[in-house]
Amino acid sequence: MDSSKIYPRTGDAHTVYLKSVITRPTIEVGDFTIYNDFENDPRDFEKNNVLYHYPINHDRLIIGKFCSIACGAKFIFNCANHTLKSLSTYTFPLFFEEWNLPKTEVATAWDNKGDIVIGNDVWIGYDAVIMAGVKIGDGAIIGARAVVTKDVEPYSIVGGVPTKEIRKRFKPDIIEKLQYLQWWNWPVERIKESIHLIQSGNIEALHHITSSKNV
């Protein structure tokens, strides 16, 4: 299998392996993560979906392996913010020429909340919005048109504006085993051999395979 190709499915130009279309050094995407867009060219993900991501701020978008990102999902970075430390929300430092301010202080126009970090095997629904500084754990599901302003725990289902946890996908012991297994880091051939166990939810069999192979 070749995760470096652009299109995972023959004849489907709406779905891409996201890693293959990324050009910015400040965006990292894991193998086999897909993005689907039926409104725009999915190859334009950086332009249409990663917003206010300007080099001056040095913030990063990190997305793990085997994630599924639906059409219209947006990642809103720190340069979209207006600082709350000032008495005014107007971004005076951004217009330094107009107000005779030092160019070196441009970044004080906004509050810097950090990188956006998405774990592995995360499903981000249609038109969801992920805000700056948010970390989403492995296996989480983000509902359609949700606005994520706070961190999401692994294997949680969240939705709403702003998001609230709806429920966990699995019981705590299964989540613990999945976080131990980290199947997304296995060699491709081993994942192929184990797909039927992953899909059927046979966690005990997966755990047994891992133990027997000392991985």
What's the rounded Cα separation, in Å, for the pair 72 and 69? Answer: 9
Which residue, 173, 127, 134, is CA-closest to 150?
134
Q: Would you call 207 a catalytic residue per the annotation?
A: no
CA pseudo-torsion sign 144, 156, 17, 130? positive
CB atoms within 10 A of CB 116: 25
Catalytic hit among 58, 82, 196, 208: 82
What's the rounded Cα separation, in Å, for the pair 55 and 169? Answer: 37
Q: How many CA atoms lie within 13 A of 132 on its CB side?
A: 20
The residues assigned a catalytic role are: 82
